[in-house]
């Protein structure tokens, strides 16, 4: 990638432009937008003679070399497809305009006049079908001009002969109409009909048709000339039916056939639950630029803000220097590593560059929320509202603002609005859960978190929130499960481990608790050392300092286990955090200690008592005096001192 020439750029630009046209031909608006943004972000290098770089070329198997001047209609190089497309061009245009007017059923009816079998997608039907999608299809003949009986022989091709483009549009609009109905039937957010009960009733029909179609293609040996779009749709349908492995396969097939459909990549990344799965998928992917971007995106989604990922991002930014998408990814990486200042700077620059851009502003608002930058958050909300007040992102920003102002009822109103606009809007579910927790409405909170997790299982905040809510309900064992999920998603976040630890403590498993607390300590130090990039200092603890709270908890656990020596040593460690690590003392004059806190005071008190019990009166006295000086728990300390004096005197007098 280092030798990125103008030719490369031109080629890439053309390819992306073509992708934009293709996506918008199929009404995949978001993918089209993404590709268009990316193509614009390419640098305009000085013109060199156009020669094609072979290795970027290789990824394009089914597209023509780019035309010299950008055209809006790219001819299909598959003659059969081209013929079909020419044939149903007028009908296609009609259907497309219907789709644009959001008349999905009408759009579908242009190409597929008869009703596809409808009904809920039973969990067994795709499973049973998917085992033999291709093999069963082979046997069946091509007597498929007639509409076969509904559901009798699923894999036969019941679809009329259409170009792939038309077919995709028809089935996709069916899918969309199903989604629309589903949303309508779900009624109110968190209402009685909202939840798992409503399903997209078109899924069965689409699955059957697609299975039949694929089988037919396979049988005719045409699968090589598939364009990837129908595979993408099939993947979506399968993912909806929770048959994720298959869905993954079909998505991979789709991106092989047409790599510039960002939607397919997005769907694929949503199916990856952890880094291991990502690693497993990567070899199966085509070797091209899109895979790089995908890898970056998926890693970001899995909270992998490591140096290699940043390097990857640097490389990509070489190619697309102005890409807002990539910048957003960078900011999110900083956000995940809790480097809020850096993330904020990037987002702020993005906002200045394109004030009308609302995408992922909700993350920005989260960052501002954490930074408690209220004026800025209000301003952001103002800007977003000025552009479009009925975007879920905007609603989230406003909701966050109200949440920061502790006006939880209003915040909930806005999060609900965001969800009404888009039920799959993840952040809103999670944030709404937070608000319900604040409002002490645990049931609603649990439901909101649950929905968030259902939408995206990688949202650690939702898992953590669920844990918290159950903790409020005093169901610690139950909460433990959720905390563990959160911790597995964020293995380097000490907060998660602390939560797990305290849960273990509550369910009386001090050994495990100690383990997890220690893990939390490790995670804390990891972060501090890991944040080599950026200059952020506000996030996390100062370098080299261990979290005194965790240390204190560990000490208490040891006390529970009656290993008092261990406990005492951890208490000492807690105390030591007041001054910070010794080696720092010379460089910066004691600037890094956390100072006296309630936790350290508690530790001091404990130590004083312990020393007192051990008979080390001098040390105990010293500690107690320190306590008095710090002005924390003075009464208790004084009582202790009196007690000691009395003891010492009584001990002295006989001696």
Binding site for other proteins (CB under 8 A): 348, 351-352, 355-356, 374-379, 381-383, 385-387, 389, 398, 401-402, 405, 414
Using the minimum distance from each CB to other proteins, give the nearer residue, 352 or 652. Answer: 352
Minimum CB distance to other proteins, residue 600 (Å): 25
CA pair distance 533, 539, nearest whole angstrom: 13
Q: Which residue has the tokens 């930074």?
A: 371
Torsion over CA of 222, 223, 229 and 230, rounded to 10 degrees? 90
Min dist CB 557 to other proteins, Å, is 33
Which CB sits closer to other proteins, 381 or 523?
381
Q: How far is CA 413 from CA 183, 303, 367, 405, in A?
A: 19, 29, 21, 14
Instruction: State the minimum distance, in angstroms, from the CB of residue 138 to other proteins.
Output: 58
How long a stretch of residues is the chain? Answer: 655
Residue that the structure tokens 């301003």 belong to: 379
Q: Which tokens in the block code for residue 194?
A: 């909202």
Q: Which is nearer to other proteins, 431 or 521 (CB)?
A: 431
CA atoms of 545 and 145, how far apart (whole Å): 74
| Smallest distance, other proteins to C-beta of residue 375, A | 4
First to last CA, the chain: 85
Q: In Å, how far are 194, 195, 391, 649 from 191, measured between CA atoms?
A: 5, 8, 21, 72
Smallest separation, CB 540 to other proteins (Å) = 25
Question: Residue 379 or 533: which CB sits closer to other proteins?
Answer: 379
Q: Which two structure tokens, joined as six digits, stand for 212? A: 């039949």
The H-assigned helical ranges of 422-509 are 426-438, 442-455, 460-472, 476-489, 494-506
Q: Tell me the closest approach of the beta carbon of residue 387 to other proteins, in angstroms.
A: 6
User: Judged by CB, which is closer to other proteins: 78, or 362?
Assistant: 362
Q: How far is the CB of 361 from other proteins (least distance, A)?
A: 12
In three state form, how does the secondary structure of 176-197 look?
A: HHHHHHHHHHHCCCCCCCCCCC
| Spatial CB neighbours of 431, under 8 Å, sequence gap ≥ 6 | 396, 399, 400, 403, 411, 415
* Helix (H) and strand (E) counts in the chain: 34, 0
User: Which residue's CB is nearer to other proteins, number 98 or number 401?
Assistant: 401
Residue 150 or 351: the one with the smaller Cβ distance to other proteins is 351
Cα–Cα dist 36/15, whole Å: 10
The CB-of-389 to other proteins minimum distance in angstroms stands at 5
Nearer to other proteins, 91 or 376 (CB): 376
Nearer to other proteins, 40 or 266 (CB): 40
Q: Quick one: which H or E segment has residue 392?
A: helix 392-404
- Can you tell me which residue has the tokens 């999905």? 104
How near is the Cβ of 360 to other proteins at its closest, in Å?
A: 17
In angstroms, the CA 60 to CA 55 distance is: 10
């Amino acid at each position: 990638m280092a030798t990125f020439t103008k030719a490369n750029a031109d080629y890439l630009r053309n390819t992306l432009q073509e992708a934009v046209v293709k996506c918008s031909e199929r009404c995949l608006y978001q993918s089209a937008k993404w590709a268009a943004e990316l193509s614009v972000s390419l640098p305009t290098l000085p013109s060199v003679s156009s020669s094609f770089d072979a290795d970027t070329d290789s990824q394009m198997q089914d597209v023509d070399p780019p035309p010299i001047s950008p055209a809006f209609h790219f001819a299909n190089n598959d003659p059969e497809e081209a013929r079909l497309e020419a044939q149903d061009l007028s009908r296609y245009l009609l259907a497309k305009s219907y789709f644009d007017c959001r008349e999905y059923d009408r759009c579908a009816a242009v190409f597929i006049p008869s009703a596809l079998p409808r009904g809920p997608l039973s969990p067994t039907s795709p499973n049973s079908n998917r085992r033999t999608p291709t093999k069963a299809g082979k046997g069946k003949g091509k007597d498929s001009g007639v509409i076969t009986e509904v559901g009798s022989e699923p894999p036969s091709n019941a679809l009329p002969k259409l170009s792939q483009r038309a077919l995709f549009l028809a089935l996709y609009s069916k899918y969309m109409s199903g989604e629309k109905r589903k949303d309508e039937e779900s009624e109110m957010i968190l209402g009685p009909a909202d939840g798992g009960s409503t399903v997209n009733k078109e899924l069965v029909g689409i699955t059957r048709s697609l299975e039949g179609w694929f089988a037919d293609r396979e049988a005719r040996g045409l699968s090589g000339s598939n364009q990837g779009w129908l595979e993408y749709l099939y993947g979506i349908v399968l993912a909806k039916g929770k048959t994720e492995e298959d869905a993954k396969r079909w998505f991979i097939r789709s991106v092989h056939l047409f790599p510039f459909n960002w939607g397919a990549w997005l769907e694929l990344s949503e199916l990856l639950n952890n880094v291991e799965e990502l690693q497993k998928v990567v070899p199966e992917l085509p070797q091209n630029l899109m895979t790089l971007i995908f890898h970056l995106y998926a890693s970001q989604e899995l909270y992998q803000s490591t140096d290699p990922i940043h390097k990857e991002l640097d490389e990509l930014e070489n190619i697309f220097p102005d890409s807002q998408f990539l910048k957003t990814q960078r900011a999110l990486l900083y956000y995940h590593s809790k480097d809020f200042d850096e993330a904020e700077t990037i987002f702020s620059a993005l906002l200045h560059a394109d004030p009308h851009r609302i995408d992922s502003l909700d993350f920005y608002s989260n960052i501002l929320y954490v930074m408690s930058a209220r004026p800025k958050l209000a301003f952001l909300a103002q800007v977003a509202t000025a552009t479009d007040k009925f975007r879920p992102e905007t609603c989230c920003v406003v909701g966050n603002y109200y949440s920061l102002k502790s006006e939880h009822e209003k915040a909930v109103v806005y999060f609900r609005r965001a969800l009404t606009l888009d039920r799959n809007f993840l952040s809103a579910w999670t944030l709404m859960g937070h608000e319900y927790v604040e409002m002490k409405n645990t049931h609603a909170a649990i439901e909101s978190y649950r929905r968030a997790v259902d939408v995206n299982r990688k949202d650690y905040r939702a898992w953590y929130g669920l844990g918290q809510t159950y903790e409020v309900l005093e169901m610690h064992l139950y909460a433990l499960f959720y905390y563990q999920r959160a911790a597995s998603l964020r293995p380097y976040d000490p907060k998660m481990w602390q939560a797990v630890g305290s849960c273990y403590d509550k369910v009386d498993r001090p050994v495990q608790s100690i383990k997890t607390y220690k893990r939390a300590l490790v995670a804390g130090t990891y972060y501090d050392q890991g944040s080599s990039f950026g200059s952020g200092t506000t996030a996390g603890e100062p370098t080299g300092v261990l979290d005194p709270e965790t240390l204190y908890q560990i000490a208490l656990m040891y006390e529970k286990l009656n290993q008092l020596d261990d406990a005492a040593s951890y208490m000492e460690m807690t105390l030591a955090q007041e001054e910070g690590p010794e080696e720092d003392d010379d460089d910066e004059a004691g600037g890094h200690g956390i100072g006296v806190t309630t936790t350290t005071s508690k530790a001091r008190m404990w130590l004083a008592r312990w020393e007192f019990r051990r008979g080390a009166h001098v040390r105990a006295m010293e500690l107690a005096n320190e306590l008095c000086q710090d002005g924390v728990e003075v009464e208790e300390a004084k009582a202790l001192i009196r007690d000691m004096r009395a003891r010492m005197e009584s001990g002295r007098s006989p001696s």
